[in-house]
A and B are shown apart, each in its own frame.
Chain A
Amino acid sequence: MTASFAIIAALTLASAVAAMSLRNLVHCVLMLMVTFAGLAVLYLQLGAQFVGFAQILIYIGAVAILIVFAILLTRGSEPPRQSIFSATWVVGVGIAVTVFGLLSAMILSSRAVTREMRPLPEATVRQIGEQLMNKYVLPLEVIGLLLTAALIGAVIIAMHEKEGK
């Protein structure tokens, strides 16, 4: 456990907890952006440079801003009058704790995590490009179609309906 991993992991977890529990929705989104940034730093520590920068560009630069726009368009920036937790929040938190317990028991008792240390692998952009063009060309085309469909679908769903419909 290196000091840098400990600090970044603590920061990310703290901001994730804050993102889920703050009253003000815009504060929640800002804490979510800190979580994304912490995760990007972890990706960089693990040696996945391209993925780390793509995480910052896409998640912080686009997805979080999209959430901010949605909050502002649905009047979420006003402080809520009722409690922020739903009526069955105890059950929800209980389920989450159970899931974490199961996952950590599985991780700690597994043989897969006791492998020996490996040197840092290389994931240059050229290698990623070659893989995308050779082995993963079908998923690449499909994700292009998916993003186009999502773009058109989101615009149509959120468009103002015409009068008289």
Chain B
Amino acid sequence: MVGTLDQIFVTLKHWLVDFVPGQYQSVFSALLSVAAIVLTFATLFALTTLLERKGLGRIQNRYGPNRVGPYGLLQPIADGLKALTKEDVIPHTADKVVHFIAPLVLVVPVFLALAVVPVGRNMTALDMDAGVLFFFAAGAATELSVFMAGWSSRNKYSLLGAMRAIAQMISYEVPLILSAVTVIMAAGSLSAVKIVEAQAGYCGIVPRWYVLTPWGLAGFLLFMVAATAESNRSPFDLPESESELVAGYYTEYSGFKFALFFLGEYLGLFAVSGLGITLFLGGWHAPLAALGWVPSWFWFFTKLLALIAVFIWVRGTLPRLRMDQLMGLAWKFMVPMALVNIIVAGLWRFMSAGLARWAICFGLVAAAYWLLGRSLAGGKQLAKRVYRYAD
């Protein structure tokens, strides 16, 4: 019973594919996987836009949207209708072809990247030998669309936003990939499916996820911070800061193209969260051995929603970083931290299990964090907070 619920989508797909004559079966199976990915993540996108607005509203002590439907649940439909029917305004001197293609160049690589993430047991659309490398290659292609959008609008603000966004994205790609390298070293494979399988099993009651090791915890935190910066989300959203640059590199986009940029940004968030779950949080494995009867895809989406909630929480809480603070954080703190993390992961692999291994590895990571943090702060101390109340 539990096995069938776990594999229900796989058996559904096999049953559907059997309707088609033999020679077309591989094509039809691929089309079904594509349709499943698009439908699932587009629905999740709609849900996330609503969750974000309500979550941010509550953090800011107000209701989010609550007019359309009960508790505002039909708000994404209203947003979609608005985006579809809005007039598509293009600047007169804009580069028409590049302006048109830029949203597509954002969305297509992100869907490709989503295809390598293992959503459940036997539920990976593309099981490739170099899956994680394919993911990062698709992520690199999204920077191209940022530049195309900013440059083709012939708008100084758009171009400035695009340059800032590209500089930020290529700077944060380095700690992102370096923190993934520690997991690849530990699992011994670039295939996402094998990395999830390497995190199976439980020692006692605790699962063998990589986040529960010192280097894994540091790597996970680095990965999440770099992922926030890669998706241009607050506190790293200077390229699209609504209070400074109008809308940054997509100032001149309206209607459906703007909705496509929005879709691409959120899907990028899902993709990189999905990869973080695959690399560090054990993929579709249950957190306790006793809960193994719950379907694997349920665990994956639960973890994904938890990470999305953390992203929304961070957006509502932390102030924006300035450009030089942002770049300083990437190059002066995160890259050395990621390199130390790789050394610690190697030490962990070659020392025998026990308290000594935990103490040395944790000590190295904590020492590196403290030293790098001191050097980045540049000797400045935080002043004691003083409250003045109005009488």
Contacts and interface: CB of A to CB of B under 8 A. Distances in A.
A and B in direct contact, judged by CB atoms within 8 A: yes
Interface stretch (A12-20, A59-67, A84-92): A59-67
B321 interface: no
Given A30-B148, A65-B170, A68-B147, A60 B140 contact: yes
Interface in B127-164: 128-130, 133-134, 136-141, 143-144, 147-148, 151, 159, 163
Contacts, number: 56
B167 to A, nearest CB: 8
A61 B141 contact: yes
Contacts of B173: 61
Interface string B269-299: 0000000000000000000000000000000
Contacts of B106: none
Contacts of A69: 163, 166
B245 interface: no
Contacts of B128: 49
Contacts of A21: none
B147 A49 contact: no
Contacts of B133: 50, 53-54, 57, 125
A77 interface: yes
Given A72-B163, A125-B190, A64 B144 contact: yes
Nearest to A54: B133
B98 interface: yes
Contacts of A57: 133, 136-137, 140
Contact of B144 (A65, A124, A125, A126): A65
A53 B116 CA distance: 13
Contacts of A125: 129-130, 133, 189-190
A26 B130 contact: no
A56 B147 contact: no
Contacts of B143: 61, 65
B144 A60 contact: yes
A65 B129 contact: no
A60 B141 contact: yes
A56 B129 contact: no
Nearest to B163: A72
If over half of B's interface residues share one DSSP class (helix, strand or loop), that class is named, otherwise mixed; here it is: helix
A33 interface: yes
A62 B170 contact: yes
A30 B98 contact: yes
B82 to A, nearest CB: 31
Contacts of A26: 151
Contacts of B166: 65, 69
Chain B contact-residue range equals 20 to 34
Contacts of A49: 128-130
A35 to B, nearest CB: 13
Nearest to A128: B130
A68 B144 CA distance: 10
Nearest to B184: A125
Contacts of A72: 159, 163
A48 to B, nearest CB: 10
A48 B139 CA distance: 20
B130 A53 contact: yes
Contacts of B140: 56-57, 60-62
Interface string B161-178: 001001000100100000
Interface string A104-148: 000000000000000000001110000000000000000000000
B350 to A, nearest CB: 16
A121 B98 CA distance: 39
A77 B190 contact: no
A126 B133 CA distance: 13
Contacts of B134: 53
B154 to A, nearest CB: 10
Contacts of A124: 129
A111 to B, nearest CB: 34
Nearest to B167: A69
Interface in A37-95: 49-50, 53-54, 56-57, 60-62, 64-65, 68-69, 72, 77
25 contacts: A27-B98, A30-B148, A49-B129, A49-B130, A50-B133, A53-B133, A53-B137, A56-B137, A56-B140, A56-B141, A57-B133, A57-B137, A57-B140, A60-B140, A61-B137, A61-B139, A61-B144, A61-B170, A61-B173, A62-B170, A64-B144, A65-B143, A77-B151, A125-B133, A125-B190
Interface of B: 98, 128-130, 133-134, 136-141, 143-144, 147-148, 151, 159, 163, 166, 170, 173, 189-190
Q: 7 closest pairs, A vs B, by CB? A: A61-B140, A56-B137, A57-B137, A53-B133, A53-B137, A125-B190, A57-B140
Given A27-B98, A50-B133, 16 more contacts: A26-B151, A30-B148, A49-B128, A53-B133, A53-B134, A54-B137, A56-B138, A56-B141, A57-B133, A57-B137, A57-B140, A60-B140, A61-B137, A65-B170, A72-B163, A126-B189
